[in-house]
Amino acid sequence: MKIYRCKRCNYIYVDEEQEIPFEEVGNEWKCPKCRSSKNFFVEKANPK
């Protein structure tokens, strides 16, 4: 499971909860919370 966090608003994108893995989302994709572009997201460490 991969988790990505928006650096602007802290929105969390969890691959397992979405239809498309984050790495496959197009560059036109925007954060649903703050509308930041995909490059504002960072991968978080996997909690185990």
Q: By the 8 A CB rule, do 43 and 2 touch?
A: yes
Contacts of 21 (CB under 8 A, 6+ apart): 2, 15
Arithmetic mean of pLDDT over the chain: 94
| Structural domains of the chain in order of their starting residue, each with its CATH number | 3-42 (2.20.28.10)
Across residues 11-24, what is the average pLDDT?
95
pLDDT for residue 45: 79
pLDDT for residue 38: 96
Q: Which residue(s) pair with 6 in the sheet? A: 41
pLDDT for residue 47: 61
Across residues 41-48, what is the average pLDDT?
82
Across residues 20-40, what is the average pLDDT?
96
pLDDT for residue 48: 59
